[in-house]
Amino acid sequence: EAQVTQNPRYLITVTGKKLTVTCSQNMNHEYMSWYRQDPGLGLRQIYYSMNVEVTDKGDVPEGYKVSRKEKRNFPLILESPSPNQTSLYFCASSFRGSTGELFFGEGSRLTVL
């Protein structure tokens, strides 16, 4: 089954404790992206990647890091989480040549205390 898998789905952590949210897709997609969803703000892009070893900042990259060492994986790293990073996070992927249809993961709800 074609899917984008995120882990963990739910996480409560404390300020400053490094964490990683993993994202993996099994569709051989070149393009992957991370979004955060906040009430009243919709989806905002954090980082994206056009292919292996190619990443770029989205609209709200501060406090986040990403890596793309393999085509299928695109982890989101919070080196020192803060309460304003409490949010619902989505990973998405698509073929590079597609006309915009993104495949989304189920989401990861992060709470930073």
Partner 1 sequence: AQSVAQPEDQVNVAEGNPLTVKCTYSVSGNPYLFWYVQYPNRGLQFLLKYITGDNLVKGSYGFEAEFNKSQTSFHLKKPSALVSDSALYFCAVRDMGKAYGGSQGNLIFGKGTKLSVKP
Residue range at the interface with partner 1 (CB under 8 A); choices 11-19, 62-70, 73-81, 92-100: 92-100
Q: Mention every residue, 6+ apart, whose C-beta is less than 8 A from residue 80.
A: 15, 16, 18, 63
Contact 2, 102 (CB under 8 A): no
**Does the footprint of partner 1 cover residue 1 (CB under 8 A)?**
no
* Residues 21-40, interacting with partner 1 (CB under 8 A): 30-31, 33, 35, 40
Q: What are phi and psi of 112, to 5 degrees?
A: -110, 120
Closer by beta carbon to partner 1, 69 or else 100: 100
Contact 99, 39 (CB under 8 A): no
Which residues contact partner 1 (rule: CB under 8 A)?
A: 4, 30-31, 33, 35, 40-45, 48, 50, 58, 90, 92, 94-107
